Structure 1
């Protein structure tokens, strides 16, 4: 339930290398709306996966990074990526056999 939403997996993926600002996250994720991204980040912050740091500047600058708990999901995300790559290979082989 912590990472069941497709946006959360993408947020985790994009924060693994390091801290990002909201706009950078939105751009790297793609078609997510600002409202949905904000809600997902808040939920992840409440669950202890993401840190949110607000700088007292005008305009305000907000940065997001993974907590240690969030970083501990890396092996799971890596395993999902490996599985997906294997699936793509199997799927393309299956399509080749059918033609």
Structure 2
């Protein structure tokens, strides 16, 4: 593979990887490792996507926080396998947004 498309739901991280932002909350060593890995490809495109648009990545990210470490092998957890199957079937996931003013009680 020479071309890689990376999707992320963390807009600040996406902007950092694109070179549009300089500040982030991820450790410098992790940022450097990500850039090193992206450098292995001839062409890289980094895109922002809402988590509802990539449920597999969202589940993988949540599991990485619960079970840190290096993952190896072809095993998919049942939660990830379910989201992969939903992607295969073209399942849509709605983005739930609060109505304007909902947090303050103001009328819209």
Shorter-chain TM-score category? 0.3 to 0.5
After TM superposition, the score normalised by the length of structure 1 is: 0.33
Answer 1 or 2: which has greater helix percent.
1
After TM superposition, the score normalised by the length of structure 2 is: 0.31
